[in-house]
Amino acid sequence: MNIDLNGVTALVTGGSSGIGEAIATTLAECGAVVGVHFNTGGDKARKMAEGFDNGSLAFGADLLDPEAARKLFVTAAETLGGIDLLVNNAGIFIPAHPESGHGNWMNTWDKTLAVNLTSTGVLCREAIEHFRGRGGRIVNIASRAAFRGETAEYLAYAASKGGMISLSRSIARSFGKEGIKSFTIAPGYVRTPMTEEYLEKHGDEMVASELALDEMTDSDDIAPLVAFIASGKLDHATGCTIDINGGSYIH
């Protein structure tokens, strides 16, 4: 890509697989130093960061714990000498039909919102405080589910992604004059480790039937947009949500 991100330092949550891996790799290819966050994929994250060969590092944290999310940002910022771009990509996609019982449903609801929304909020707050006086950008990876809704099994997921979008817009409106920009990307189904169970259950054909295009969205379709945002060339679109879903939901 002809985007120069030399001098930019990014923290990418969920950076060791799927969409996050593509984003971290693309940012590094453009010259950025990347903090690659992982929960369970530590060996891969460390190997990725080492392979970037530019001072990038891997950072572990379980985002079920809001204090771990806070410490993740603080540690990454201190270790890397500051953060210019926060990409909230980490998320979980756990099914729980309302008929599965109150306990199971609440457990799924609490876990999903903790990882997808609460940790995002904590990281955004830390970023806002860090960016004051220096500026910075936030990219939240949400979902078309925030607009279209989801099936009954994924009510918590859709709610969490809707919250991410509202949070991102509010940050853009509230802190723009302090040089803080905030964006949301809303993919449809992307073939990643997170969506494997859903695709195995429902089949590629069902997902493909919703698309206007003839192939599913890939992680590499999303990553270049994050690099473009990081370059500062899209700053006047702060607060916007950009749909990348193969035309499966247009609004």
Count, residues in the chain: 251
Strands (E), the chain: 9-12, 33-38, 57-60, 85-88, 136-141, 180-187, 241-244
Give the largest Cα separation in the chain, rounded.
52
pLDDT value for 73 = 98
Q: If you average pLDDT over residues 180-208, what whole number do you get? A: 78
Task: Say if residues 86 and 138 touch (Cβ distance below 8 Å).
Answer: yes
CA 148 – CA 52 distance, rounded (Å) = 37
Whether 93 has a pLDDT exceeding 90, the answer reads yes
pLDDT value for 188 = 87
pLDDT value for 207 = 72
Q: Which residues are catalytic?
A: 157
How far does Cα 71 stand from its chain's mean position?
18
Whether 230 has a pLDDT exceeding 80, the answer reads yes
Alpha-carbon dihedral sign for residues 164, 169, 175, 178 = positive
14-55: per-residue pLDDT in tens?
999 999 999 999 999 999 999 999 999 899 999 999 999 999
Q: If you average pLDDT over residues 87-104, what whole number do you get? A: 96
pLDDT value for 211 = 84
48-69: per-residue pLDDT in tens?
999 999 999 999 999 999 999 9
Least confident of 62-76, 196-210, 214-228: 196-210
CA 127 – CA 70 distance, rounded (Å) = 10
Q: If you average pLDDT over residues 217-228, what whole number do you get? A: 95
DSSP letter for 14, please.
T
Task: Say if residues 213 and 246 touch (Cβ distance below 8 Å).
Answer: yes
pLDDT value for 196 = 66
Whether 134 has a pLDDT exceeding 80, the answer reads yes
Tell me the percentage of the chain whose pLDDT exceeds 90.
84
pLDDT value for 86 = 99
pLDDT value for 197 = 67
pLDDT value for 37 = 98
**Homologous superfamily of domain range 9-102+124-195+205-244:** NAD(P)-binding Rossmann-like Domain (3.40.50.720)
pTM as predicted: 0.94
Which band of pLDDT confidence, cut at 50, 70 and 90, is reported for residue 249? confident
Whole-number average pLDDT of the chain: 94
67 vs 195, which has greater pLDDT? 67
Q: If you average pLDDT over residues 100-109, what whole number do you get? A: 97
Structure tokens at 67: 């204090």
Taking Cα atoms as reference points, which of 182, 197, 179 lies closest to residue 242? Answer: 182
Task: Say if residues 116 and 158 touch (Cβ distance below 8 Å).
Answer: no
DSSP letter for 176, please.
G
Beta bridge partners of 57: 35
Q: Output the DSSP codes for 132-163.
A: TTT-EEEEEE--THHHH---GGGHHHHHHHHH
